[in-house]
A and B are shown apart, each in its own frame.
Chain A
Amino acid sequence: MPQKPPRPGFESWGRYPKLDANVVPLNWACDFPLKPPPATRMLPVGAGRSYGDVCLLGHGTLLRTRGPGLSGGMDRLLDFDPATGILCCEAGATLGEILDFAVPRGFFLPVVPGTKYVTVGGAIANDIHGKNHHVAGTFGRHVPLFELVRSDGRQLICSAAQNADWYAATMGGMGLTGLIAWAEIKLKPIVSRRIQYMGVKFSGIEEFVALSERNAKSEYTVSWIDCVSTGNNFARGIFMAGEHDSAARPLKRSKETKLSLPIDFPGFMLNRHTVGLFNTLYYNKQLGKIKSGSVDYEPFFFPLDRLRHWNRMYGKQGLLQFQCVLPWEEDHRGMTEILKAITRSGLASFLAVLKVFGDLPSPGMMSFPKPGITLALDFPIRKETSFDLLERLAAITLEHKGRMYPAKDATMTAAQYQAFYPQWKKFAAFVDPAFDSAFWQRVTA
């Protein structure tokens, strides 16, 4: 029988690239630095929910703060003060676990991304953002304090006042500055699990921007955008705005998700026709121009979490993500160009998201968000065409003074990265000498 190539011990969510590494479970903060130190370079990883190679290190040692399976690891909740809403937890706790703890006590996370399965360490290392970026900024803005442990054993308590340079370098620092042992997060009070939402259909970027401006006071705003249709349907989408319900309701804990995609789909399942069909159905599910109602926070924030392992939809070769932010332009020429390039390629999936970033400054030296419009979507991996498209999108992003998101990237070149993040040399001085990542090797080569 022909020998199958060995499966890497650890994959990122995009499952591309495939790089093998030695995975060392790190169940306790006090087990780091490892004794004896590993012979290779190392990188801390949490849930592995970033898409490309920012959480990978070929032939290296991955310090995994999550246990095998879905539980365990460095996931302890060390302190909670209901008077201030400040929760202190270890870096391997996931946002879902925090919500399970906080919601029944009447609290919610200040910023959540599109999945609850990311760890706090990952949320800091990528200085993540959510649907409330325009009013709350990035996740890091709500992390007043954390502990960084360097490979030489040095422990640094970091905040805006103490070790401020390490604080800024670690926030969005892609796990390269050392191990984040624990962090404080300032939670916010809620009285109900439900979100009052409104969905509005739009056509074209102009209308999307107008809706975003008109609803700038809404706490959560995001849009789904059709990146397949052309002609009259070009850049059609649904704009969504939501607020936490102010009417008190019982704050029960979430139930566990049972639904899981058990196998890898064959790669050809997602194509221009199936995605086009999905998009038409999705767009027309909402019949009128405007729809409003109330929904539990789980489907509002984490619709894809309902299907575990949804990335298997793309087959075992994996998927590519692209997320950029472009600064404001009067005529939105850059974003239009990007959307046109995507529709022309016919490669887009139905998971395309458009959002306006606000102007609250990101606390990290290397944080991705900046004022403007951000677009995120994934692509199946088709040899040549997918990579050609991403190269084109990176070029347009650069030309329009935008930048791309390392947590979702597997393809940008060193020259592009260094142009997107000219401060990278200053950041490099904070990288732990024993730490490295496949992404960092690629973009500093």
Chain B
Amino acid sequence: MAARKFPSTVLVVGATSAIAEATLRLIAERGARFYLVGRNPDKLHAMAADLHTRGAAGVATYAMNLDDTAGHAAMLAAAAQSLGSIDMALLAHGVLGDQPMAEASYAAAAAILHTNFLSAVSLITWLANYFEQLGQGTLAVISSVAGDRGRKSNYVYGASKGALTIFVDGVRNRIDRKGVHVLTIKPGFVATPMTAHLKQGPLFATPAQVARGIVKAIEKRRDVVYLPSFWRGIMFAVRMVPRPIFKRMNM
């Protein structure tokens, strides 16, 4: 079988996230065209200029608040029209949220679930049908190792990512057989603005390291990747801890 072509038209949702930006820089060098979606138009423009300088064949931007699921269809249609056809969609938006606040208030918890899960469900529903109809394409979704098991310190964020992982698993089982590559990306700790307030330990990876892993996973059409890969072992161990012990642990 001939090697598949690397995606050359890419829709990126949550484009200004550090992991997405690092990933796009690698893809830009291959001359891809991008459609960047994010909240802040100034940031989108700065990023578009950078990707263009680094070799992107074209970059268009679309500013919107992704919590506004009613606006998704219009944005996605505009992206498909601008790119001609979407080879790949990368979903990278999300919030860490404030766990203590989410423990105290349903509204705070629901806001995290809405941004990280429901808005992704809205986008993936449209994109899965789009790629299914096309009979090809790559749907890459950034979830998190935090979704592998509920932990005391961040279970609301974890639940939003865990639900996302399960949802994407199901979508894969539906459309992989139609020729669509569905990739679940589970980064561990990454040194990004989202985690800037946390104490940075030796387990922290850079966005560039994670980006290289994402590009490789796209090339190899992997189903699920932990990035860096040692997180697969760590999360296996975390999942294996018997519940009577796990419930007493402070993690």
Interface residues of A (CB under 8 A from B): 25, 27-30, 67-72, 76-80, 90, 101
A404 to chain B, nearest CB (A): 35
The reply to whether B46 and A30 contact each other, CB–CB distance below 8 Å, is yes
Instruction: Find the A residue at minimum CB distance from B45.
Output: A30
- Which residues in B have their C-beta under 8 angstroms from that of A90? 46
Contacts A30-B40, A77-B53, A77-B54; A72 near B46 (Cβ below 8 A)? no
Please give 12 more A-B residue pairs, beta carbons under 8 A apart, in addition to A67-B193, A76-B47, A77-B49: A28-B43, A29-B46, A67-B206, A68-B191, A68-B196, A68-B204, A72-B21, A76-B49, A76-B50, A77-B54, A78-B50, A80-B53
* Set of chain B residues within 8 Å of A72, measured between Cβ atoms: 18, 21-22, 191-192, 206-208
Chain A: minimal CB distance from B190 (Å): 9
Residue of B nearest to A25 (CB): B196
Q: Which residues of A contact B53 (CB under 8 A)?
A: 77-80, 101
Which chain B residues lie closer than 8 Å to A67 at the CB level? Answer: 18, 191-193, 206-207
CA of A29 to CA of B192, assembled, Å: 16
On chain A, the residues within 8 Å of B204 by CB distance are: 68-69
Q: Which 5 residue pairs of A and B lie closest in terms of their CB atoms, listed nearest first?
A: A76-B50, A30-B42, A68-B191, A77-B53, A71-B208
Cα of A33 to Cα of B10 in the assembled complex, Å:
33
User: Chain B: residues with CB nearer than 8 A to chain A?
Assistant: 16, 18, 21-22, 40, 42-43, 46-47, 49-50, 53-54, 191-193, 196, 200, 204, 206-208
Do A78 and B49 touch (CB < 8 A)? yes
Q: Closest approach, in angstroms, between the C-beta of A96 and any C-beta of chain B? A: 13
Q: Closest CB of chain A to B70's CB: distance in Å?
A: 27
Min CB–CB distance B116 → chain A (angstroms): 21
Say yes or no: B208 contacts A101, CB within 8 Å.
Answer: no
Q: Is the CB of A68 within 8 A of B49?
A: no
9 A-B Cβ contacts within 8 A?
A25-B193, A67-B193, A68-B196, A68-B200, A69-B191, A69-B206, A72-B192, A76-B47, A78-B49
With CB as the reference atom, state the residue of chain B lying closest to A70: B206
By the criterion CB–CB under 8 Å, are A77 and B50 in contact? yes
When distances are taken between beta carbons in the complex, the residues of chain A under 8 Å from B47 are 76
> Would you give the shortest CB distance from A80 to chain B, in whole angstroms?
5
> Distance (Å) between the CB of A153 and the closest chain B CB?
13
A-side contacts of B207, CB under 8 Å: 67, 71-72
Task: List the A side residues contacting B16 at CB < 8 Å.
Answer: 28
Q: Which residues of B contact A29 (CB under 8 A)?
A: 42, 46
Chain A neighbourhood of B22, CB < 8 A? 71-72
CB-based contact A30/B191 at 8 Å: no
Q: Return B47 CB to nearest CB of chain A, in Å.
A: 7
Tell me the smallest distance from the CB of A180 to a CB of chain B, in Å.
15
Query: What's the nearest-Cβ distance from chain B to residue A72, in Å?
Result: 6
CB distance from B95 to the nearest CB of A (A): 16
CA gap between A25 and B176 in the complex, in Å: 40
Interface centre among B47, B54, B191, B207 (most CB of A within 10 A): B191
Contacts of A78 in B (CB 8 A): 46, 49-50, 53
Within the assembled complex, what's the spacing in Å between the Cα atoms of A98 and B2? 36
A28 adjacent to B42 (CB under 8 Å): yes
The chain A residue with its CB closest to the CB of B190 is: A69
- Across the interface, name the chain A residue whose C-beta is closest to B52: A79
Q: How far is the CB of A256 from chain B (nearest CB, A)?
A: 10
Give the complex CA separation of A72 and B206 in angstroms: 8
- Distance, CA A25 to CA B46, complexed state (A): 17
- Complex CA–CA separation, A64 to B50 (angstroms): 20
A439 to B51, CA, bound (A): 37
Q: Bound complex: CA of A70 vs CA of B200, how far in Å?
A: 13
CB A384 to nearest CB in B, in angstroms, measures: 36
User: In the complex, A30 Cα to B42 Cα: how many Å?
Assistant: 7
- A28 to B200 Cα, complex, angstroms: 21
Contact A30 B43 (CB under 8 A): yes
CA distance A76 to B46 in the complex (A): 7
User: How far is the CB of A308 from the nearest CB of chain B, in Å?
Assistant: 14
Query: Do A71 and B50 touch (CB < 8 A)?
Result: no
CB-based nearest B residue for A90 = B46
The residues of B that contact A30 with a CB separation of less than 8 Å are 40, 42-43, 46
Alpha-carbon separation in the docked complex, A78 to B192 (Å): 21
CA distance A78 to B42 in the complex (A): 13
| Chain B proximity of A120: nearest CB distance (Å) | 14
A106 to B203, CA, bound (A): 37
Shortest distance between the CB of B57 and any CB in chain A (Å)? 15
Assembled-state Cα–Cα distance A184/B159 (Å): 46
In the assembled complex, the Cα of A69 lies from the Cα of B203 at a distance in Å of 12
Q: Which residues of B contact A70 (CB under 8 A)?
A: 206, 208
Contacts of A68 in B (CB 8 A): 191, 196, 200, 204
Q: In the complex, are the beta carbons of B50 and A27 less than 8 A apart?
A: no
Which single residue of chain B is at the shortest CB-CB distance from A23? B196
Kindly list chain B residues whose C-beta atoms are within 8 Å of the C-beta of A71.
22, 206-208
> How distant is the Cα of A67 from the Cα of B21 in the complex, in angstroms?
13
B18 lies within 8 A of A27 (CB): yes
Please give, as numbers and ranges, the residues of chain A lying within 8 Å of B196 by CB-CB distance.
25, 68
**How far is B42's CA from A101's CA once the two chains are assembled, in angstroms?**
24
The residue of chain A having its C-beta at the shortest distance from the C-beta of B196 within the complex is A25
Contacts of A69 in B (CB 8 A): 191, 200, 204, 206
Q: Which residues of B contact A76 (CB under 8 A)?
A: 46-47, 49-50
Q: Given the known A-B contacts A27-B18, A70-B206, A72-B191, are A79 and B49 also in contact in the complex, defined by CB atoms under 8 Å?
A: yes
Complex CA gap A72/B128 in Å reads: 31
Q: In the complex, A70 Cα to B193 Cα: how many Å?
A: 14
Q: How far is the CB of B176 from chain A (nearest CB, A)?
A: 33
Residues A27 and B49 in contact, CB atoms below 8 Å apart: no
Residues of A within 8 A of B21 (CB): 72
Q: Closest CB-CB distance, B25 to chain A, in whole Å? A: 9
For the complex, what is the distance from the CA of A29 to the CA of B204, rounded to whole Å?
Answer: 25
Q: A77-B54, A79-B49 are in contact. Are A27 and B193 (CB under 8 A)?
A: yes
A68 to B200, CA, bound (A): 9
A76 and B49 CA atoms in complex are apart in Å by 8
What is the CB-to-nearest-CB distance from A92 to chain B, in angstroms, rounded to a whole number?
12
Interfacial chain B residues near A79, Cβ < 8 Å: 49, 53
Cα separation A29 to B16 with both chains bound (whole Å): 13
